[in-house]
Amino acid sequence: MDPRRASRTVSDPKIRQVGFFAPSPDRSFSGPPDPISTSTSTPNPAAANTSSPPPISDLSPSGNSLSPVMIPPPRHSSDTTYRPVPFPPASPLRRDTLSLTVGSYNNNNIIISSSPTASFYDESKGITVKASSVPASGLTTVSVVKTLPPGFTETIVEKVGGSVEMQNDLPANSKPLKERTSKAERRALQEAQRAAKAAAKAEGSKLPATTSGAVASANAKPSKATKPPSQKNDSATVASSEKKGSDRPPEKDRKKDAPHPRMQYDDKSRVEKAKRRAVVKQTEARNRVELFRHLPQYEHGTQLPDLESKFFQLDPVHPVVYKVGLQYISGDIAGGNARCIAMLQAFQEAIKDYSTPDEKTLTRDLTAKINSYVSFLNECRPLSISMGNAIRFLKNRIAKLPLTLSESEAKAFLQSDIEQFINEKIILADKVIVKHAVTKIRDGDVLLTFGSSSAVEMILLHAHELGKQFRVVIVDSRPKLEGQLLLRRLVGKGLSCTYANINAVSYIMHEVTRVFLGASSVLSNGTVYSRVGTACVAMVAHEFRVPVLVCCEAYKFHERVQLDSICSNELGDPDAISKVPGREDINYLDGCTNSENLQLLNLIYDATPSDYVSMIVTDYGMVPPTSVPVIVREYCRDQVWI
Amino acid sequence: MIEFQRSLEWFWFLRLRRVALTGTSNEAGEVILTFGRSRTVKEFLCAAKEKNRSFGLFVAEGAPKYQGHLLAKELAARGLQTTVITDSAVFAMISRVNMVIVGVHAVMANGGVIGPVGLNMVALAARKHAVPFVVVTGTHKLCPLYPNNPEVSLNEMRSPSEVLLFEEFSDCMDYRIGTGAPQLHVVNPAFDYVPPELVSLFITDIGGYYPSYMYRLIADYYSSDDVVIQQKPAS
């Protein structure tokens, strides 16, 4: 293809910068990048230790901190305590950051504007179920959680401060950490325990809480998939004699936990086992696509009335979790951030109402309960990768609770931990992403986005508020047609928008200058796992030499790798393909679901290869796709959840 | 119909040789991807089915006309194993496809094709995964024009109501930006241009050809008056 770019804005040829440099915010955007930022590379290691935490510090307007495209070095060495020490210095910095951004980009504004939109939707009688309810696939916290107190921004500041105080207390009475026992030793212990448990199953006597408590304090950090560490050093018989019910969930869910919801559904025995302990009764789809036999395919629409009737009877599942599960099934909550936040807030409620049964430890019993909730949610709708990461974080926190805490204190800690996770990893991360990405938008740009991503929407709105002149092209695809929701919100805010179907992307790409995409996750080989159709858009953009920027919070990164979209995906309702909403003349496929030769395939996700992505904008800065495993390794491991 | 039969014979002649070499007759066989609905492709595939070739088929629905639904229904009725996918899933599925066979609206003199909107995306995905992109066409679709800016000059813009429902967005039609231009545009082109580099093979009723050869056929079917523009003498 001929390069179609005639003229570009040329930076001053005398100053040659190598690498990416974002211009500092107080300069005009056509000027050359700040030459001071070239010197940031050398003093970084020194700067990182004094100014903390680095990912937030580069927001300060002066150029003497990290440029946003450099990954700050991790702070491993002295930070082996599970509560990272530099929190106290962080909070004033964070408060400044919050006050900086609050002025220009206020959550309150978003709250106010989304509710009239929602009511407007009801009035105009949106056609799809999703449209008539909350425009859920849009902004994360705001559109979903209507119960947010109006003083939301104040709450963030208080909570950050409050949680900081609590964490200062904790290191004083933290348990001494032991070196990790080798895998072989743990495995041997587990085998012995399992054998003894099978032998002692009839007893059903309880494990004395005190011994397990004392033992738990001496253990190393647990990995996410193994049993709680308190059992490791117990004698075999004592450890094995647990009550059956609470013991089975952690054991059976271990299989599901290991790479989160990726059970292979072509293994008959496993499918049978899963069905037996399932809360949600799913009927399998009759007409399954052969290529996707390893993924679950269920009839949609059958679970919802059944579950609704059981709402008041369902004992093992907390009602708030149940409600969230129903919202997943019906599609009211969609989008990675929204689902994750809804799940975490439901867990907060569940933890608040939780009380430890007699002779049980809080950590193990609560972990078992959380596991059961997770498997329920997984049955409602397969977990997204962001949710998987959040669950791993929560279980990690539960397991690390010091056992000298009383139950109410432990619950308060967990609730504040969840709150902090949501605030830092999602809300604050989005603000940082917006701040970085807005520097990439210039006057006269034509920006293309696909579907509806909460991060991209925030970027566009913020850029519009800053007064930049640009046009937006929204590319949409079947069957979800999420782009229409985004279109309505953007047009309501005054942006000039063009709407097109994904087929027209080759036509429209001639005029596009930048492409902004959202992601459900970014995998360790740089592959972007996102809504189906993203790969097509990125490919065409690459062909026309248009830069593609993927905006993704760092908590969504995962160490998994994937080469294509087949080995792991989610299958949606096949009937959504045969029905075209609003076009009654398109009814060729009515009644064809029973034909044995005809199958309908409704993929939800696809994998975009990393060579189509120019840059990933995260809360750790703007990085190339090759830096994703670095971030996963240094920042998303269990002990360093910064 | 005769043209279709002949083109079919050419194609399977090329295929048969390869199959004969490998010695196996394909069980699940080939997997073919097609886009939208082309009657040529439909006859082609049905004739192949009659010759007892077994193959699986993915049909991309081809919004906003959704003719792919109709094609899938017709082919399933004739006994072909068909799966309907959305256009957005083309990149995801094309890694499992052996061949892309499509019909087009017109063939340009440079070997490029004008096809239903979305075809360029399919062709790019096919090139990325090294899947042959085969265009089945009759010679009557050959055109002596060279495509200059084909997205605009050789395209047709259809009604936005096929893409965006008027009832839902009627209120947005009145919004205006500062200069008085409408705030909401909807783009609904009917055709797509696929450059000749992306096409692997043309199958016509007179045989299989590489795209760079197509201009020779013009001489057979068009008088030179159509092809060479004579300057009118100034009067």
- The string of DSSP codes covering A580-621 is -TT-TT--TTTT-TT-SSEEE--B-EEEE-GGG--EEEETTE
Nearest CB to B80: which of A477, A565, A597? A597
Q: Radius of gyration over alpha carbons of chain B, in Å? A: 20
B173 interface with A at CB cutoff 8 Å: no
Summarised one tens digit per residue, pLDDT across range B83-135 is 999 999 999 999 999 999 999 999 999 999 999 999 999 999 999 999 999 99
Mark yes or no for CB contact A496/B125 under 8 Å: no
Output phi, psi for A445, to 5 deg.
-70, 150
Average pLDDT, rounded, for chain A: 69
- Give the distance from residue A548's alpha carbon to the nearest chain B alpha carbon, in angstroms: 16
The dihedral built from the CA positions of residue A122, A123, A126 and A131, taken in this order, carries a sign that is negative
Determine, for residues B84 and A598 on separate chains, whether the beta-carbon distance falls below 8 Å. yes
Token readout for A142 is 């705001």
Determine if the peptide bond prior to A479 is cis (ω within 30°): yes
Binned at pLDDT 50, 70 and 90, residue B190 comes out as: very high
pLDDT exceeds cutoff 90 at A542: yes
Q: Is the pLDDT of residue A217 over 50?
A: no
Which of A132, A497, A503 should be substituted to probe chain B, the one whose Cβ sees the most B Cβ atoms within 10 Å? A503
Q: What is the mean pLDDT of residues A551-560?
A: 92
Burial of A567 (0-12, 13-18, 19+ CB in 10 A): exposed
Q: What is the mean pLDDT of residues A377-398?
A: 90
H/E run at residue B102: strand B99-103
Per-residue CA distances from B41 to A320, B33, B103, B138, B211 (Å) = 53, 11, 6, 11, 18
Chain B hits for A467, Cβ within 8 Å: none
The 3-class secondary structure across A249-283, one letter per residue, is HHHHHHHHHCCCCCCCCCCHHHHHHHHHCCCCCCC
Q: Is the interface score ipTM higher than 0.95?
A: no
Q: What is the pLDDT of residue B11?
A: 58
- Is A404's Cβ below 8 Å from some Cβ in B? no
pLDDT band at A300 (very low <50, low <70, confident <90, very high): low
Query: Does residue B67 surpass a pLDDT of 70?
Result: yes
Residue B171: per-residue pLDDT: 77
Residue A304: partners with Cβ closer than 8 Å, 6 or more residues away: A326, A329, A330
| Structure tokens given for A23 | 């211009």
Judged by a CB distance cut-off of 8 A, whether residue B153 touches chain A is no
Q: How far apart are CA B128 and CA B95, in angstroms?
A: 9
pLDDT at A275: 64
List the one residue out of A137, A144, A142 whose CA is nearest residue A486: A137
Neighboring chain B residues of A535 at a CB cutoff of 8 Å: 91-92
Partners of residue B73 in chain A, C-beta under 8 Å: 588-589, 592, 598
pLDDT confidence of residue B154: 86
Chain A within 8 Å of B43 (Cβ-Cβ)?
A: no
Per DSSP, A374 falls in state: H
Q: Give the three-class secondary structure for B81.
A: strand
B186 to A539: CB separation less than 8 angstroms, yes or no: no
- Does the pLDDT at position A119 exceed 90? no
> Which residue is closest to B128 within chain A, CA to CA?
A539
The distance of A587 to chain B (nearest Cα, Å) reads 8
Evaluate whether A410 touches A401 at the Cβ level (below 8 Å). yes
Going by their DSSP bridges, the two strands A548-551 and A615-618 should be labelled as parallel
- pLDDT of B54 > 90? The answer is no
Residue B195 in contact with partner chain A when CB distance is under 8 A: yes
- Asked if the Cβ–Cβ distance from B83 to A599 is below 8 Å, we say yes
- B128 touching A (Cβ < 8 Å): yes
CB proximity B183 to A under 8 Å: yes
pLDDT band at residue A387, thresholds of 50, 70 and 90? very high
Give how far B134 is from chain A: nearest CA, Å.
19
- Please tell me which of the candidates A510, A577, A599 has its beta carbon nearest to residue B86: A577
What's the pLDDT at B102? 94
Average pLDDT over residues A618-623: 93
Q: Indicate the range of A207-221, A363-377, A492-506 predicted with least confidence.
A: A207-221
Contact across the interface for A498 and B185, Cβ inside 8 Å: yes
Angle of CA points A597, A603, A604, to nearest 5°? 160
Q: Is the pLDDT of residue A60 over 50?
A: no
Mean pLDDT within A518-542: 95
Q: Is B185 on the interface with A (CB under 8 A)?
A: yes
A229: pLDDT strictly greater than 70: no
The answer to which of A44-58, A341-355, A374-388 has the lowest mean pLDDT is: A44-58
Judge contact between B113 and B38, C-beta under 8 A.
Answer: no
- CB of A576 within 8 Å of a chain B CB? The answer is no
Partner A contacted by B186 (CB < 8 A):
yes
Q: Stretch B150-175: mean pLDDT, rounded?
A: 84
| Residue B205 confidence class, pLDDT cut points 50, 70, 90 | confident
Q: For residue A316, name the pLDDT band (cuts at 50, 70, 90).
A: confident
Q: Does B219 touch chain A (CB under 8 A)?
A: no
User: How confident is the model over A154-172, as pLDDT tens digits?
Assistant: 443 344 333 333 434 434 4
What is the per-residue pLDDT for A50? 42
Q: List all residues of chain A from 119 to 148 with a beta carbon under 8 Å from chain B.
A: 124, 126-127, 131
Asked if B163's CB is within 8 angstroms of A500's CB, the reply is yes
A505 close to A538: Cβ distance less than 8 angstroms: no
Q: Residue A389 corresponds to which tokens in the numbers above?
A: 């990461």
pLDDT > 80? residue A303? no
What pLDDT sits at residue B65?
87
Which of A496, A539, A586 is nearest residue B177 as measured by Cβ atoms? A496
Q: How confident is the model at residue A329 (pLDDT cuts 50, 70, 90)?
A: confident
pTM of the shown model = 0.69
Q: Cα separation of A254 and B43, whole Å?
A: 53
CB < 8 Å to A598, chain B: 72-73, 76, 82-84
For the cut 80, the answer to whether the pLDDT of residue A379 exceeds it is yes
Instruction: Give percent of chain A above pLDDT 70.
Output: 53
Using CA atoms, how far apart are residues B225 and B219, in angstroms rounded to an integer? 11
In this predicted structure, what is the pLDDT of residue A22?
53
Q: What DSSP designation does A293 have?
A: T
Find the CB nearest A499 among B80, B83, B186. B186
Window 198-217 of B: residues touching A by CB (8 A cutoff) are none
Interface of A with B in 49-108 (CB under 8 A): none
Which amino acid type is present at position A187? R
Contacts of A602 in chain B (CB under 8 A): 86
Tell me: pLDDT of A624 over 70: yes
- Three-point CA angle A141, A263, A197, nearest 5°: 105
Confidence (pLDDT) at B104: 94
Tell me: pLDDT of A529 over 90.
yes
Predicted local confidence at residue A93, as pLDDT? 40
Mean pLDDT confidence for A594-613: 88
Residue A478 to residue B181, Cβ atoms within 8 A: no
- What chain B residue is nearest to A451 in terms of C-alpha separation? B88
Q: Stretch A56-63: mean pLDDT, rounded? A: 40
**A298 φ, ψ (degrees, to nearest 5):** -125, 160
